[in-house]
């Protein structure tokens, strides 16, 4: 008997996904657990596996369709078997009038405003100064792509990382182009709030309206740690690991969380209970083209510095290329965000709700410090801890940061775990 495969619960409160592409076609034979479709959820691009072996009798939906949990994805059965009519998933919105330009398809403004639209022609783009971000130029070099031959799809013809990947023959998920409208003072672009950006907006709003945010700031003298890292960098490179400060900070945070378990908790508002996690999964915020993603280093307390470094690099790369799996984004108990990599010093980061706290790292810089009455130059790491004041008080937050600081300032104690 033909089996209607409905989109299962993907976890983490995900209710729907956008169909990107089918990995099989009608008439294909599939094995159990074989990936059959790619969906983009508000967290990642996921491949959904077949629940059984058989022949694909019917595919239900096209790229761009919204598939909700419970919708029939496909029908699997025996070759030639007849099937009942299957209700289609939620369809795309009716197409709006569009015009094609050098930055893709743009939805046109209403008729009364069309006369105001100034077409973006190839000549005008050529005359404009089109910036190429250093990260994009570096990616092009790494992929062997001639940046001068890449056609930019960004606003005003800007070359994006996706454009470079297309130039290298890599598959890139297409996104809806912005629409052009006019306001009283001039032309504007309207970009759909969807996917990961929409999820970020909703999660940040929920965090700020739910948790009682307070930020505690301090700094650590990481001069000894910098020396230790410099000494071990070459050995780490032999193991294929680029050793940064971040794995050491993850380890220091785990030790701090063990000492102050309430920081490794969340508040169950419905049951009015504080839920203390006795496992240590550290989320690392990663800036991607799709928006902020937080891959998780699972069981960080059981891993060495090298293993943590390898996990951070692996999941960050998967996040940037949108190949990360949901399991790598789930289960976090505490989050670290590194604004220092972008030159920032202090911050008031928004808690990755429902976690209790998030630590922002500032840029490490050389600063004059007074030690034993003498001014010396030391490497200083700024730290900003935002925490939920409903769960912990300022005193505990200060003690927790001081514990992290103690471990970072004494690499021997950090590595020994005391």
Do residue 153 and residue 226 come from a single domain? no
* pLDDT for the residue numbered 157: 65
Do residue 206 and residue 267 come from a single domain? yes
Do residue 184 and residue 218 come from a single domain? no
Do residue 311 and residue 204 come from a single domain? yes
pLDDT for 120 beyond 50: no
Cβ atoms within 10 Å, residue 412: 10
Domain count, the chain: 3
Asked whether residue 86 is domain-assigned, the answer is no
Asked whether residue 25 is domain-assigned, the answer is yes
Do residue 288 and residue 308 come from a single domain? yes
Asked whether residue 84 is domain-assigned, the answer is no
pLDDT for 316 beyond 70: yes
* pLDDT for the residue numbered 416: 86
* pLDDT for the residue numbered 191: 87
Do residue 265 and residue 383 come from a single domain? yes
pLDDT band at residue 395 under the 50/70/90 scheme: very high
- Of the three residues 151, 166, 192, the one that is the final residue of a domain is 192
The residue whose two tokens read 């995900």 is 14
- Of the three residues 168, 192, 216, the one that is the final residue of a domain is 192
| Cα 185 from chain centre | 35
Instruction: For residue 102, give its domain range.
Output: 98-192
Residues 10-42: tens digit of each pLDDT: 766 678 888 988 999 999 999 998 999 988 887
Domain of 16, CATH number, reads 2.40.50.100
* pLDDT for the residue numbered 80: 76
pLDDT for 127 beyond 80: no
Orientation angle between helical segments 305-320 and 246-259, nearest 10 degrees: 110
Asked whether residue 83 is domain-assigned, the answer is no
Q: Which residue has the higher pLDDT, 378 or 146?
A: 378
Average pLDDT, stretch 91-95? 44
The half-sphere exposure of 70 on its side-chain side, counting CA atoms within 13 A, is: 2
Do residue 188 and residue 204 come from a single domain? no
Residues 238-280: tens digit of each pLDDT: 999 999 999 999 999 999 999 999 999 999 999 999 999 999 9
Do residue 299 and residue 274 come from a single domain? yes
What are φ and ψ of residue 258, in 5° steps? Answer: -65, -40
Do residue 354 and residue 325 come from a single domain? yes
324 burial class (0-12, 13-18, 19+ CB within 10 angstroms)? buried
Which residues are marked as active site? 389
Domain of 330, CATH number, reads 3.30.559.10
146-155, 209-218, 222-231, 339-348: the lowest-pLDDT one: 146-155
Do residue 155 and residue 128 come from a single domain? yes
Do residue 216 and residue 355 come from a single domain? yes
Domain of 138, CATH number, reads 4.10.320.10
Do residue 298 and residue 182 come from a single domain? no
Average pLDDT, stretch 36-64? 87
Q: Which residue has the higher pLDDT, 151 or 308?
A: 308
Rounded Cα–Cα distance for residues 384 and 358 (Å): 8
Return the exposure string of 53-77: e unless at least 16 CB atoms fall within 10 Å of the residue's CB, then b: ebbbbbbbbeeebbbeeebbbbbbb
């Amino acid at each position: 008997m033909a089996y209607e495969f409905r989109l299962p619960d993907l976890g983490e409160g995900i209710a729907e996904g956008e169909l990107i592409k089918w990995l099989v076609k009608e008439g294909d034979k599939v094995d159990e657990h074989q990936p059959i479709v790619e969906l983009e959820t508000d967290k990642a691009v996921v491949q959904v596996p077949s629940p059984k072996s058989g022949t694909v009798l019917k595919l239900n939906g096209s790229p761009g369709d919204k598939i909700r949990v419970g919708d029939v994805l496909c029908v699997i059965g025996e070759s030639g078997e007849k099937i009942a009519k299957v209700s289609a998933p939620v369809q795309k919105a009716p197409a709006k009038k569009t015009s094609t330009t050098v930055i893709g398809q743009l939805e046109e403004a209403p008729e009364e405003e069309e006369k105001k639209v100034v077409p973006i022609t190839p000549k005008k783009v050529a005359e404009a100064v089109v910036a190429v971000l250093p990260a994009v130029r570096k990616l092009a070099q790494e992929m062997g792509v001639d940046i001068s031959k890449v056609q930019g799809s960004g606003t005003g013809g800007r070359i994006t990382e996706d454009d470079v990947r297309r130039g290298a023959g890599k598959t890139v998920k297409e996104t809806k182009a912005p629409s052009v409208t006019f306001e009283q003072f001039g032309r504007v672009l309207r970009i759909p709030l969807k996917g990961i950006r929409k999820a970020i907006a909703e999660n940040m709003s929920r965090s700020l309206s739910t948790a009682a945010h307070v930020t505690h700031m301090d700094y650590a003298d990481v001069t000894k740690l910098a020396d230790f890292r410099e000494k071990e960098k070459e050995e780490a490179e032999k193991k294929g690991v680029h050793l940064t400060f971040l794995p050491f900070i993850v380890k220091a945070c785990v030790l701090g969380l063990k000492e102050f378990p309430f920081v490794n908790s969340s508040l169950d508002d419905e049951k009015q209970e504080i839920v203390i996690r006795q496992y240590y999964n550290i989320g690392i915020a990663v800036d991607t083209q799709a928006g902020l993603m937080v891959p998780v280093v699972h069981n960080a307390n059981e891993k060495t510095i090298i293993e943590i470094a390898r996990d951070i690099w692996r999941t960050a790369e998967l996040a940037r290329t949108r190949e990360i799996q949901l399991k790598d984004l789930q289960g976090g108990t505490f989050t670290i965000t590194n604004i220092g990599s972008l030159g920032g010093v202090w911050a008031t980061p928004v808690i990755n709700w429902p976690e209790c706290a998030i630590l922002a790292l500032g840029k490490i810089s050389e600063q004059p410090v007074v030690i034993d009455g003498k001014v010396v130059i030391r490497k200083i790491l700024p730290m900003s801890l935002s925490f939920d004041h409903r769960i912990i008080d300022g005193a505990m937050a200060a003690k927790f940061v001081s514990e992290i600081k103690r471990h970072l300032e004494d690499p021997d104690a950090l590595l020994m775990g005391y």
